[in-house]
Amino acid sequence: IFGGMSKEQIASMRSSFGDKASIKYGMNPADLLESYTEVLKAGIPEKVASEFTDAILKGAIGIDLSTIDTTKLVARAASLTGDLENLDPAKVKSMMNAIAIANNVTAASGNEIVAANHRGTGVLSSSKMTMEQLSAFTAAGISGGMQSAKAGTFMDFLVNDLVNAKNTKGERRLQLNKFGNMLGMGGGAGLSAAMGQNPTQTIVSILDKMGAMSEGDRAKAGNLLGMREWRGELGILVQGRAKVKEILEKITDPKNANFLDEASEQKVSNLTGRWKSFKSALLLAWEAVGKGFDDVFVEVTGSLTDILGKLDRSAIAGHIRGAMQGVLSGLGFNTWKDAIESLIGKPGA
């Protein structure tokens, strides 16, 4: 629970980062703790967990991302491309920024891009493609009509098949050789070589070449590369190649380096965002008040519990019986039955 953090570690995290972030992003402190915990559970070291969480929360606020799904995606990408123990938070910011830009210029939602990228993370280990570049392809695919899960799975298939074109055997080798020659890219060996150098540019070039073909040749090329299973998705990317290039250009434009920061800032600075921040601050203040009462309550109830636990309950019962008998005698009766009959009369009388 809580990523293995002790009570002291949770208190330290909240004082140094958590409570300030809760107010900044207008979050319930419990929700922020959950997000931070998910970061730790994903394998992110504690020394960068706060910065990592902050980057994800900016995405959650800026483009309405699922914090848990996004945490898993970025952690997965980090584990495939580098050492988690030495993870640079700037890489996380860059990944999140690219998703925000792709979300802004396509019909794909941020969560759809995250889901697609999660399915396509294999390209990060099989090629030099980055998460930022993957976002351009998946967002364009989703915007063109692909389901998010298929967009990511298709990219994983496409990149892996092209990278390994020179090593493929049998009928698939013949298909990829014919496809590569058809596009003037040197058969399967040429495709593999180009993918090894620059997978993103190679795929963009393939999309452009297919887009310039006649309808008949484009259909043949689509069948060779995408086969029956993926030729439809390949066709969607060919049609959406201009959007892929637009996203890639915007992602690499220095003017957009802080796009997500600005989007998040707009959300937290508007009236709704400020009200959420105010409510978070009030909640933290009330929590502190409650903690003060809680300490007193714990001490008082603890003392009473201890005292009551040591009392002689049989003696108490005897005292109560004696007191009630004294009341009865004071009323001039020997038994409670006599007292009741004196008040309401005897039954049947």
Q: What is the mean pLDDT of residues 324-341?
A: 81
Q: What is the mean pLDDT of residues 203-221?
A: 96
Among 27-41, 60-74, 189-203, 259-273, the minimum mean pLDDT is found in 259-273
Find the helix packing angle between 67-81 and 89-105, rounded to 10°.
Answer: 120
How far apart CA 78 and CA 124 sit, in angstroms, is 9
SS3 for 167? helix
How would you label 75-107 residue by residue, b for 16+ Cβ within 10 Å and e otherwise? bbbbbeeeeeeebebebbbbbbbbbbbbbbbbe
Q: What are phi and psi of 6, to 5 degrees?
A: -80, 170
Q: Residue 37: what pLDDT? A: 85
Nearest to 96 by CA among 135, 122, 127: 135
Q: How far apart are the first and last CA of the chain?
A: 72
Does the pLDDT value for residue 19 go beyond 70? Answer: yes
Q: What is the mean pLDDT of residues 202-225?
A: 96
Does the pLDDT value for residue 296 go beyond 90? Answer: no
Q: Number of helices and strands (H, E) in the chain?
A: 19, 0
- Where is 101: in which H helix or E strand? helix 89-105
Name the band, by pLDDT with cuts 50, 70 and 90, for residue 335: confident
How far apart CA 106 and CA 143 sit, in angstroms, is 6
Does the pLDDT value for residue 308 go beyond 70? Answer: no
- Higher-pLDDT residue of 349 and 97 is 97
Q: Residue 53: what pLDDT? A: 84
| Average pLDDT score, the chain | 84
Structure tokens at 273: 């965002």
Among 53-67, 116-130, 148-162, 267-281, the minimum mean pLDDT is found in 267-281
Among 30-39, 83-92, 157-166, 328-337, the minimum mean pLDDT is found in 83-92
Other C-beta atoms within 10 Å of 296: how many? 9
Does the pLDDT value for residue 307 go beyond 80? Answer: no
In sequence order, what are the residues at sequence separation of 6 or more whose Cβ sits closer than 8 angstroms to the Cβ of residue 14? Answer: 29, 33
Q: What is the mean pLDDT of residues 334-340?
A: 80
Name the band, by pLDDT with cuts 50, 70 and 90, for residue 35: confident
